[in-house]
Structure 1
């Protein structure tokens, strides 16, 4: 949801203490007075005898105020009573009429608060269970569509291969039979040639006899008188060859079909898709004992932590070989990676240099530490994202093609890698798993509008929301884990320029504002809570920020090599 400056200012007024001119953080809420209070004003409020029975709760547990509705019978009065007998909402004047005398009544605000909580719970189920589960089932179906298409294509390929194999066998057998006919033909022709030679020899023989006889015919030649009678050899006998006869094969279409394979759907009961039960949604993964212990510690911490009324500077590090601290990634308290705009990326421990590598430079959040202490970083010159392990081994995780990677975040929820990218025309956020395989692309909202232009800092909140600072849109853009747009925060004034961004254990969103050189604190839903640090308090130009496991806020200051550490939770 986009918010205007006026709405945000109103949000700011609503969320700070509402007692007189007090401007401290409104951490509590009086459900009777319907106003936020700081801790000090809450204590003072409870001391008054008029307020001793007021219901004061933490702000997030507040009852939502009954919407104002005017009575139709008494237009100057608000409807705020519910007649249980008549099942009708009433105003105070209606309540006092004879018509409702002796009836039982309820506070309409109480009913509204209960209904609101009920519907909020149902809506939460829709967002956290029904919708994601349905989307997951839809994704399963899409995967099944792809699988079925692949299976059928493989079957068609196999059928073509089998048919081709049968064709090859037919060609092979046909070729053998053709060769056999060639052999038979040669044998028959040799026989006929032999017979032809026999008759040639016999004709020659007859010619010789004829010539001799011709010699004896003249009167002057009396040799004929002295020869015995002429005997002529009989004509040689030959046999007419028997030609081969072709007998056609006896087959039909069914015979061919039998030779080739067939496609059948197995007579098997279809397997029902597994629908994850609602109670399993909150713990979808198996955790180790250590992870469960850490989860319990964080849950206990959430119940005891709250915003401090003041911000305290804890320590300060001067980072060697860094000209301006543009981005900070914390491995563990005191041990951090810091980058500047001049391609310097260094690791320090309590300010002592551990190692230095060449980064891609630029004022962006292009690196992030993992839960195991490794560093994920992007190279915007080569369009690759790499990992450097604790033993200083560098591995390329993925290439981003034509997209320039600007920002990187390693998820503390599941280890996924979130990358903010851009081209000359558009921006997007891509999710990869730990192995570097792309699993999600987030680029447009449900109206088809582009969400990003230049997402140069990125982080993830405790509820799975992906929060990015987009320099060209002058906004913090927040989507849920499904990539659906939740809201865009555009600051309190028109000169809002978001840079470094991080979240804390309470789900707060903290973002550096270059326009006012300050740090804004937002709640999980994008409402402005307060300024954590102003330019004067920072004593510099805040650009890169992150929070460590001990809830310390690290602030990298532009134009300096300083990373300052602050305490803002108590």
Structure 2
């Protein structure tokens, strides 16, 4: 290589007069424009690859020697074996194989690697970061909940102070032990997530090096030797945290442990993800997580069945653990219990399109045609509560005693939140991008995490957070299973564990999904004898009340044990 000692300029290797502008990759020669023309006319087995001199140090323009035949350079790729090869490799081992360009295979595998890298950097890493954040926040929630529970225990114990000291001590010890064990499990799970994040960071760094600064053959060889690196990247099992609670018992002289109350442990439950890429990473490390005291039964048990005088039934709303309000075609609302007894009959001017029981025990109902929501007080006085702009359908009462109302159709479709006095508080109509969320919202309920669950006529269950941002849509499709008919969500309700229950009228089924939208099971199907379920409601004991549209039957099921 000729250089000017005065200016240290790279000179043409042939004429040694002109500055070199080009570089021949196979030959390693530096050329001026004039000598480049003559150089291209020379015959070499591998041909010439002329690049700008400034590009000669790029990884794709460097010579990489064959690992098997050290005196030969990699010049092509075997498409059958997916490895780089030299001339001797082709002659000795790959003569009958399909041979392609090294650059073509590099570009293909680079694109695949960059796609996997992007998924790890965005979807996977953000998921891990969010899980770690949620569980770190969960520690304070566990401490606060247990502190609140212990205060309730102490207050309850004042009425039993003469004979309850032993039971109180056992209950406090149980709470403290559960707190320690739960916090330990959270710490272990957080450490597991952080360890997984570190491992993924190392893999991200490796993939970035292979795609940005390494020789093409390094990536190809790495992929050959580690073909399943990305596929083996499995998330640790997802954990759902349920806060502990304490139920107060009745004061009697016997069965002291039930009089004082029952401590219900918090829950760290494994959630099976519907995304196949989020598979179990290491179940053994989480095998000591305690199951919830309440769990979904293998088969739901029918507790009662009542045939009403209505031609059709549409709505049901539980007043307490023994009774529920129902309505159907035509005016009137009935209050019935599980023993087929009609406890009350409320007259209405029009046909109710939605029912909900307020915290104080009063009833609210909507009339679609009149665009009015009425309130029936405990002394049976009916008053007009809200005049709505659009035709109202489903109603629910939130834990903060506000009212959620479904109304409108197509471009006017929305869910509106009102105060208990009828003042409009908030309107949910469009998503973060300004697109309409609903087509025809029909039923609505609030979950234990303040999410708003709405069944829509576009074959979707729509779930928003309390701010109105879209969390997810559930379309009723379970893995590769196909429903006999399109998913037709009608009544929707939630239970004390945060499960979402959806009546699927067209398929004669009730879906049970998690509060994150993961399908868990069908708690009822046509094999259980249900037909065209319409309205559903869960009472204080987590029993499911269901009304069938065409048979006008009210059925009550126990699905948790």
TM-score normalised over the length of structure 1: 0.49
- The structure that has the greater radius of gyration is 1
Q: Output the TM-score relative to the length of structure 2.
A: 0.49
Q: Higher RCO, 1 or 2 (CA under 8 Å, sep at least 6)?
A: 1
